[in-house]
Amino acid sequence: MDILKKLENYREEEEKLKWEGTFADYLDLLKEKPWVAQSAHSRVYNMIKDAGIEEVDGVKKYRFFSHQLFGLEEALEKLVEEYFHPAAKRLDVRKRVLLLMGPVSGGKSTLVTILKRGLEAYTRSDKGAVYAIKGCPMHEDPLHLIPQHLRADFYDEYGIRIEGNLSPLNTLRLEEEYGGRIEDVLVERIFFSEDKRTGIGTFSPSDPKSQDIADLTGSIDFSTIAEFGSESDPRAYRFDGELNKANRGLMEFQEMLKCDEKFLWHLLSLTQEGNFKAGRFALISADELIVAHTNETEYRSFISNKKNEALHSRIIVMPVPYNLKVSEEEKIYEKMIRESDVADVHIAPHTLKVAAMFTILTRLREPKRADIDLLKKMRLYDGKTVEGYNSQDIKDLKNEYQDEGMFGIDPRYVINRISSTIIRKEIKSINALDVLRSLKDGLDQHPSITEELKEKYLNFISLARKEYDEIAKKEVQKAFVYSYEESAKTLLDNYLDNVEAYCNKVKLRDPLTGEEINPDEKLMRSIEEQIGISENAKKAFREEILIRISAYARKGKRFDYYSHDRLREAIQKKLFADLKDVVKITTSTKTPDEQQLKKINEVVARLIDEHGYNSTSANELLRYVGSLLNR
Ligand SMILES: Nc1ncnc2c1ncn2[C@@H]1O[C@H](COP(=O)(O)OP(=O)(O)OP(=O)(O)O)[C@@H](O)[C@H]1O
Ligand SMILES: [Mg+2]
Residue 563 scores a pLDDT above 90: no
pLDDT of the residue at 107: 95
Instruction: Spell out a b/e string for 90-128, using b for 16 or more CB atoms within 10 Å of the CB, else e.
Output: eeebbbbbbbbbbbebbbbebbbebbbebbbebbbeeeb
Residue 279 scores a pLDDT above 70: no
Cα–Cα dist 274/95, whole Å: 8
Residue 54 backbone dihedrals phi, psi, to 5 degrees: -110, 160
Cα–Cα dist 256/404, whole Å: 24
- Taking CA atoms only, the protein residue closest to ligand 1 atom 4 is 69
316 touches 99 (CB < 8 A)? yes
Q: Give residue 95 CA to ligand 1 midpoint distance, Å.
A: 27
Residue 438 pLDDT grade (very low, low, confident, very high; cuts 50, 70, 90): very high
Q: Give residue 502 CA to ligand 1 midpoint distance, Å.
A: 58
- Taking CA atoms only, the protein residue closest to ligand 1 atom 29 is 336
HSE toward the beta carbon, residue 533, CA cutoff 13 A: 19
**Helical ranges in 107-260 per DSSP H:** 108-122, 151-158, 168-178, 214-217, 222-228, 242-245
23 touches 142 (CB < 8 A)? yes
pLDDT of the residue at 116: 97
Cα–Cα dist 48/260, whole Å: 32
Give the number of the ligand closest to the Cα of residue 102.
1
Q: Which of 34, 199, 38, 19 is nearest to 119 (CA)?
A: 199
- Taking CA atoms only, the protein residue closest to ligand 1 atom 13 is 105
Q: What is the mean pLDDT of the chain?
A: 89
pLDDT of the residue at 562: 84
How far is CA 408 from its chain centroid?
A: 17
Q: Which of 57, 72, 62 is nearest to 332 (CA)?
A: 72
- Taking CA atoms only, the protein residue closest to ligand 1 atom 23 is 105
119 touches 192 (CB < 8 A)? yes
Residue 267 pLDDT grade (very low, low, confident, very high; cuts 50, 70, 90): confident
Sign of the CA dihedral with 165 first, then 199, 196, and 210 last: positive
H-helix or E-strand containing 264? helix 261-273
| Long-range contact pairs involving 561-565 (C-beta distance under 8 Å, separation at least 24) | 561/485, 561/488, 561/489, 561/492, 565/385, 565/387
Q: Give residue 106 CA to ligand 2 midpoint distance, Å.
A: 8
pTM value surpassing 0.85: yes
Cα–Cα dist 181/375, whole Å: 72
The 3-state DSSP class for residue 119 equals: helix
Atom of ligand 1 nearest to the CA of 112: 18
Pocket test for ligand 1, best of 65, 79, 109, 323 (most atoms within 8 A of CB): 109
Number of C-beta neighbours around residue 485 at 10 A: 10
For β-strands 97-101 and 315-319, DSSP reports them as: parallel
**Segment 365-391 mean pLDDT:** 90
Residue 94 backbone dihedrals phi, psi, to 5 degrees: -70, -15
249 touches 241 (CB < 8 A)? no
Residue 159 pLDDT grade (very low, low, confident, very high; cuts 50, 70, 90): very high
pLDDT of the residue at 21: 97
Atom of ligand 1 nearest to the CA of 411: 12
**Segment 43-51 mean pLDDT:** 97
Atom of ligand 1 nearest to the CA of 100: 21
Number of C-beta neighbours around residue 89 at 10 A: 13
Q: What is the pLDDT of residues 311-362, one digit of tens each?
A: 788 889 999 999 999 999 999 999 999 988 777 889 999 999 999 999 999 9
Tell me which range, 196-205, 235-244, 262-271, is most confidently predicted by mean pLDDT.
Answer: 196-205
Q: Which of 87-101, 271-285, 461-475 has the lowest mean pLDDT?
A: 271-285
Residue 543 scores a pLDDT above 80: yes
Sign of the CA dihedral with 530 first, then 536, 538, and 544 last: negative
Give the number of the ligand closest to the Cα of residue 412.
1
Q: Which of 287, 294, 627 is nearest to 473 (CA)?
A: 627
Bridge partners (DSSP) listed for residue 290: 251
Ligand 2 ion local residues (Cβ < 5 A): 109
- Give the burial class of 210: count Cβ atoms within 10 A of its Cβ; 0-12 exposed, 13-18 middle, 19 or more buried: exposed
Q: Give residue 167 CA to ligand 1 midpoint distance, Å.
A: 38
Give the number of the ligand closest to the Cα of residue 295.
1
Q: Give residue 17 CA to ligand 2 midpoint distance, Å.
A: 33
**Segment 560-573 mean pLDDT:** 88
Q: Which of 443, 415, 428, 442 is nearest to 332 (CA)?
A: 415
pLDDT of the residue at 541: 94
How far is CA 196 from its chain centroid?
A: 28
Pocket test for ligand 1, best of 110, 255, 291, 327 (most atoms within 8 A of CB): 110
pLDDT of the residue at 510: 80
Q: Which of 465-474, 533-542, 560-569 has the lowest mean pLDDT?
A: 560-569
Atom of ligand 1 nearest to the CA of 107: 18
Residue 457 backbone dihedrals phi, psi, to 5 degrees: -65, -35
Number of C-beta neighbours around residue 602 at 10 A: 13
381 touches 400 (CB < 8 A)? no
Cα–Cα dist 607/478, whole Å: 9
pLDDT of the residue at 229: 73
The fraction of the chain above a pLDDT of 90, given in percent, is: 58
144 touches 167 (CB < 8 A)? yes
Residue 452 scores a pLDDT above 80: yes
Q: Give residue 317 CA to ligand 2 midpoint distance, Å.
A: 16
H-helix or E-strand containing 276? strand 275-276
Q: Give residue 108 CA to ligand 1 midpoint distance, Å.
A: 6
Q: What is the pLDDT of residues 244-261, one digit of tens each?
A: 899 999 999 988 888 777
Q: Which of 55, 25, 49 is nearest to 142 (CA)?
A: 25
Atom of ligand 1 nearest to the CA of 336: 29
pLDDT of the residue at 208: 66
Instruction: Estimate the crossing angle of helix 432-445 against helix 351-363, to 10 degrees.
Output: 40
Number of C-beta neighbours around residue 418 at 10 A: 25
pLDDT of the residue at 617: 94
**Segment 41-63 mean pLDDT:** 93
pLDDT of the residue at 20: 96
Cα–Cα dist 223/216, whole Å: 20
Cα–Cα dist 629/621, whole Å: 12
Q: Which of 137-141, 149-153, 279-283, 618-622 has the lowest mean pLDDT?
A: 279-283
Residue 45: C-alpha distances to residues 21, 63, 289, 625 (Å): 28, 13, 11, 52
Instruction: Estimate the crossing angle of helix 615-629 against helix 565-588, to 10 degrees.
Output: 100
| Ligand 1 binding pocket, CB closer than 6 Å | 68-72, 102, 104-110, 295, 323, 332, 335-336, 411-412
pLDDT of the residue at 192: 97
Residue 147 scores a pLDDT above 90: yes
The fraction of the chain above a pLDDT of 70, given in percent, is: 99
Q: Which of 481, 351, 492, 505 is nearest to 417 (CA)?
A: 351
Bridge partners (DSSP) listed for residue 316: 98
128 touches 33 (CB < 8 A)? no
- Give the burial class of 584: count Cβ atoms within 10 A of its Cβ; 0-12 exposed, 13-18 middle, 19 or more buried: middle
Contacts (Cβ under 8 Å, ≥6 apart) of 195: none
Q: What is the pLDDT of residues 406-420, one digit of tens each?
A: 999 999 999 999 988
Q: Which of 222-226, 304-308, 618-622 has the lowest mean pLDDT?
A: 222-226
